[in-house]
Amino acid sequence: MEFSTSTATSLHTLKAQALAIGVFQDGILSPAADALDQASGGAIRAVVQSEFDAAPGSCLTLHAPAGITADRVILLGLGRQDSLTAAILAKAHQAFAGYCVSAGVGTAVSTLCALNAGDASPTDCARTAARLVAAATYRYDQTFSRAKPAVKLRSFTLHLPRSKAAQAKTGLEQGAAIGAGVNLARLLGDLPPNVCTPTYLGQTARGLAKQFKTLKAEVLDRKKIEALKMGSFLSVAKGSVEPPAFIVLRHTPSKPAARKAAPIVLVGKGITFDAGGISLKPGPAMDEMKFDMCGAASVLGTMRAVAELDLPREVIGIVPSCENLPSGSAVKPGDIITSMSGQTIEVLNTDAEGRLILCDALTYAERFKPAAVVDVATLTGACVIALGHVNSGLFTQDDVLAGELLAASRQAQDPAWRMPLEDAYQDQLKSNFADMANIGGRPAGAITAACFLSRFTGKYRWAHLDIAGTAWLEGKQKGATGRPVPLLTQYLLGQCGA
Ligand code: BES
Ligand code: MN
Ligand code: ZN
């Protein structure tokens, strides 16, 4: 995909297979729509009045309109003019990108980032547009016997005033990198669990390190994980014959001056299949537990974006990865294990395995003396009940870090919602036989999971993102979303003052 900006003055002589213009409710045209309406002798206004309500996300195609050189003009509904938001512009760009891909459009131009929406800058608008367009070109065809037809969309241009062009260019560049990161995360999530194993995730990290010279990958095998005394991680891994992997992927910025600040560490849950272990899950929809490595996928996807942009900040991605299966060698309810931190854990439910692999990764992260650690995990069904499929759950006791992550989530159109994390919930993890139990009962299940993790994060600033509801879609559109790569990359951009 080629991303560019255009500041050409006459819109009606622009050559493109699809040209997007914004239309508001009550027949109000955006400046671009108005210009084209005049060039076409009133064709736009006529169709808007007769059959377009301009609801957010709606679109209508005009083929070969007179007086306009673009093959098609796509009207994009933006709702009421006085309540235009960056989210509505994103929705319109998503509809436009989806249209272009399904109609086989090769060259697309959008005028939407010329509009002012809330507090979103031209950079924000362009970044979001580019990552949505890049994501719209994603097509999973790895495991079909016949390849699907290639996506034709090859160029996306933002048409805007000269005063906004430089900012938009920066945004397009960031958005292209984020989009590629999102698509990597989606591919890893979508691949079947007999392909996307811990070993495969390790190879993916190595592949990234080959592709981007700022990245260095290290993949620890079972022996090295044992040497580190990661008893908690290993207790989950031992139920499967599939070898575990502990992946460390490190971005060192090419500018030496950018290497001074303490690194930011991202930790991603990499359970490549979660059957529940001895506490076996019920059968229906169990296939979706191949997505239980989406935290890991989002960390790898974010590292890809970070490397492509050569972000001026050291960033380290850590992925503990294994399967959670029942077997004669699997961890049992009642077993007590010793984590790398030395704290002991009574395993009351082997299906609460995410926290068991993450806690050792969080202890490992201490060695980097990080400025902040953010872990990402499809951790609890309870988080899906609490927040549905809209918001990722954000848990932290650090108000500053919470503010930064929430701001990034809004700026990136990748929403998260802060959940409580008070010490009062810690009591639910009390065990009669170990320092803690691995479950806290049904009430506040997403919070007690975060409480469990918090016990391993005393040495640095830390936040946890539960993406159980946002990492993939169910039903007919079943597939990974690539979230929260946009949120994480935005947060990191912010930490670089970008
Ligand atoms: N991977 C699951 C969480 C999950 C469930 C994500 C459904 C998305 C959809 C996790 O390992 C798990 O099984 N959690 C248990 C914890 C419980 C045993 C305390 C859960 O949420 O039921
Ligand atoms: Mn589980
Ligand atoms: Zn799980």
Q: Which domains does the chain have, with CATH numbers?
A: 2-160 (3.40.220.10), 180-495 (3.40.630.10)
274 lines ligand 1 (CB under 6 A): yes
Ligand (nearest to CA of 326):
2
Q: Which residue is catalytic, options 169, 229, 238, 281?
A: 281
384 lines ligand 1 (CB under 6 A): yes
Residue 131: active-site member = no
497: confidence class by pLDDT, cuts 50, 70, 90? confident
Task: Check pLDDT > 70 for residue 101.
Answer: yes
Kindly report, residue by residue over 39-61, the tens digit of the pLDDT. Answer: 999 999 999 999 999 999 999 99
Give 404 Cα–ligand 3 centroid separation in angstroms.
Answer: 27
Residue 455: active-site member = no
Percent of the chain with pLDDT over 90: 99
Number of other residues whose CB lies within 10 A of the CB of residue 183: 23
466 lines ligand 1 (CB under 6 A): no
For the entire predicted model, the pTM comes to 0.98
Kindly report, residue by residue over 289-331, the tens digit of the pLDDT. Answer: 999 999 999 999 999 999 999 999 999 999 999 999 999 999 9
Q: How far is CA 28 from CA 20, 37, 376, 425, in A?
A: 16, 12, 43, 52
Task: Check pLDDT > 70 for residue 265.
Answer: yes
On average, the pLDDT of the chain sits at 98
